[in-house]
A and B are shown apart, each in its own frame.
Chain A
Amino acid sequence: MSEKTILKFSDETAAIAKKIVARYPEGRHKSALIPLLHLAQAEFDGWLSVPAMDCVAEFLSIQPIEAYEVASFYSMFNLKPVGKCTLEVCRTSSCWLNGAEDIVRHLEKKLGIKEGQTTADGMFTLKTVECLGSCGTAPMLQCGGDYYENLTLEKTDKLVDSLRAEGKARVYTNDNPVNID
Chain B
Amino acid sequence: MGKKILLANDHIEGIRFLDTYRKHGGYASLEKALKSMTPEQIVEEVKTSGLRGRGGAGFPTGMKWSFLAKPEGVPRYVVCNADESEPGTFKDRYLMERIPHLLIEGMILSSYALGAKTSYIYIRGEYFYVARILEQAIDEAYAAGLLGKNILNSGFDLDLHVQIGAGAYICGEETALLESLEGKRGNPRIKPPFPAIAGLYGCPTVVNNVETIAAVVPIVNEGGAAYAAIGVGNSKGTKLISASGHINKPGVYEIELGVPVEEFIYSDEYCGGIRNGKKLKAVVAGGSSVPILPTELILNTAAGEPRLMSYESLGDGGFATGTMLGSGGFIVMDEDTSIVKNLYTFARFYHHESCGQCSPCREGTGWMEKILHKILHGHGTLADVDLLWDIQSKIEGKTICPLGEAAAWPVAAAIRHFRKEFEDFIRNGEHVNDVKHYYRLNNLTAPIN
> Can you pick out 15 interface pairs between chain A and chain B where the beta carbons lie within 8 Å of each other?
A23-B163, A28-B182, A31-B163, A33-B183, A70-B184, A74-B168, A76-B125, A76-B167, A93-B346, A94-B87, A94-B88, A97-B246, A97-B337, A133-B85, A174-B132
CB-nearest residue of chain B to A88: B126
Check if B87 sits within 8 Å of A92, measured CB to CB: yes
Q: Does A157 contact B (CB under 8 A)?
A: no
> Which listed residue, A23, A28, A30, A93, touches B345 by the CB 8 Å rule?
A93
A172 at the interface (CB under 8 A from B): yes
| Chain B residues within 8 Å of chain A by Cβ, number | 67
Q: A25 contacts which chain B residues (CB < 8 A)?
A: 75, 118, 201
Interface string of A159-181 (1 = CB under 8 A from B): 00000000000001010101110
State in angstroms the CA–CA spacing of A28 and B87 once bound together: 32
Contact B250 A136 (CB under 8 A): yes
Residue B124, interface by CB 8 Å: yes
Chain A positions within 8 Å of B165 at CB level: 34, 74
- The residues of A that contact B235 with a CB separation of less than 8 Å are none
B126–A138 contact, CB under 8 A? no
Q: How far is the CB of B249 from chain A (nearest CB, A)?
A: 9
How distant is the Cα of A141 from the Cα of B98 in the complex, in angstroms?
21
> Nearest residue in A to B446 (C-beta to C-beta)?
A115
The one of A31, A77, A94, A172 that contacts B183, using a Cβ cutoff of 8 Å: A31
Of all chain A residues, the one with the shortest Cβ separation from B132 is A178
Is the CB–CB distance between B164 and A131 below 8 Å? Answer: no
**B136 touches which of A101, A134, A136, A178 (Cβ 8 Å):** A178
Chain A interface (Cβ < 8 Å from any Cβ of B)? 23, 25, 28, 30-35, 37-38, 66, 69-70, 73-77, 91-94, 96-99, 101-102, 104-105, 115, 128-138, 142, 145-147, 172, 174, 176, 178-180
A132 to B167, CA, bound (A): 9
Q: Is the CB of A101 within 8 A of B443?
A: yes
Since A31-B182, A97-B244, A179-B129 are in contact, a sample of 10 more A-B pairs with Cβ atoms closer than 8 Å, ordered by chain A residue number, is A23-B161, A30-B182, A73-B355, A93-B87, A130-B169, A133-B124, A135-B250, A136-B242, A138-B244, A145-B128
Check if B89 is an interface residue, CB within 8 A of chain A: yes
The 9 A-B pairs with the shortest beta carbon distances in the complex, nearest first, are A74-B166, A33-B183, A76-B167, A135-B244, A75-B167, A30-B183, A136-B250, A131-B87, A94-B244
A92 contacts which chain B residues (CB < 8 A)?
A: 87, 288, 345-346, 349
- Contact status of A73 and B185, CB under 8 A, knowing A92-B288, A133-B89, A178-B129: yes
State the majority secondary structure of interface residues on B: mixed
- Which residues from chain A contact B348 at a C-beta distance below 8 Å? 91, 130
Select one of A31, A97, A135 contacting B89, CB under 8 A. Answer: A135
Alpha-carbon distance A58/B345, docked complex (angstroms): 40
Contacts of A91 in B (CB 8 A): 345, 348
Enumerate B116-152 residues with CB–CB distance to A below 8 Å: 118, 124-129, 132-133, 136
Distance, CA A104 to CA B341, complexed state (A): 16
Contact A34 B180 (CB under 8 A): yes
Flag if B181 contacts A31 (CB, 8 Å). yes
> Cβ of A75 and Cβ of B168 under 8 Å apart?
yes
Chain A residues positioned under 8 Å from B341 (CB to CB): 96
Q: Is the CB of A93 within 8 A of B128?
A: no
A133 to B250, CA, bound (A): 13
Partner of B352, one of A30, A31, A130: A130
Picked from B85, B129, B181, the residue with its CB within 8 Å of the CB of A146 is: B129
Which residue of A105, A130, A132 has the most chain B CB atoms within 10 A of its CB atom?
A130
Q: How far is the CA of A137 from the CA of B93 in the complex (A)?
A: 12
Q: In the complex, A145 Cα to B127 Cα: how many Å? A: 8
B185–A69 touching, CB < 8 Å: yes
**A residues less than 8 Å from B331 (CB atoms):** 93-94, 97, 135
Q: Is the CB of B164 within 8 A of A38?
A: yes
In the bound complex, residues from chain A placing their C-beta under 8 Å from that of B85 are 130-131, 133
